[in-house]
Copies of this chain bind each other. A is one copy, B any other.
Amino acid sequence: MDGETGRRSGKTGRQEQIIADLRLYPAMRVGELADRLGVSAETIRRDLAELDERGLINRTYGGAMRPVVYEPGLAEREGLMIAERQRIAATAAGEIAHNDILMIGGGATTLHFAHRIAAVQQPLTVITHAFSIAMALSVNPLIKILMLPGQYDGREGLIHGADTIDALQHFRANTAVLGASGLTVEGPNDAAVGPGLIYGAMMRRAARTLVLADHSKFDRPSLTVYGPWSSLVTLISDAAPQGDLADAIASCGAAVSLA
């Protein structure tokens, strides 16, 4: 058998080269690659099929492109909740006042929120760890955008790490605006530890927190609970939670606002 003997033939090396090329150019065609690597187009196609399978590239008609890292939640965008998220974002935007200091976490819903507040002519200060949020807000010169330091994770488009948490301790905000991968009786959840720690820290440094989540997140546990329900939290959603989740939220004094 084989079992990873390295480059038994030119195959492994060639596939590595394809990936390297794709780092340099965002998309390449089959013919190009065949020429560059001196093999037939069919061989390239087979390589691409394999690499695509492993998620190392994205196949396109006629060639391949660099894999998309940077999707705000590859899994998340699937749900067609776009309209719901827009409404949630609009409702949340209504909660923001002139000269507020905000902390905004990453995610698809908070990005919608950022687009909303960027469209309003009001001075704000925003502290964030998400590239997408900063880029969305930067169209409005009235908004002062402070980026947190830390290690950049290209897959999520976010910064996180100990430096990030540390830097947050130097700030205070009126409002933290956070998304969630799931909502459980213990509190809002996130699918990754690093970002979760940041959301928790943001909650503690803000006078109040808005949690933006559509109803598909109800009772959906994710990796980590980043913070508790409390009287400082307002959940903004498109439907009211039911059962245990509703009880937990109410008994902790958290508010629910429907979009």
Contacts and interface: CB of A to CB of B under 8 A. Distances in A.
Interface in A85-141: 115-116, 118-121, 131, 134-135, 137-140
Contacts of A155: 138
A23 interface: yes
A23 B68 CA distance: 11
A156 B113 CA distance: 23
Interface residues of A, number: 48
A245 interface: no
Contacts of A70: 135, 138
Contact of A149 (B135, B138, B148, B151): B148
Interface in A58-90: 58, 60-63, 65-66, 68-71, 77
Contact of A24 (B27, B62, B77): B77
B23 A119 contact: yes
A147 interface: yes
B134 A149 contact: no
A223 interface: no
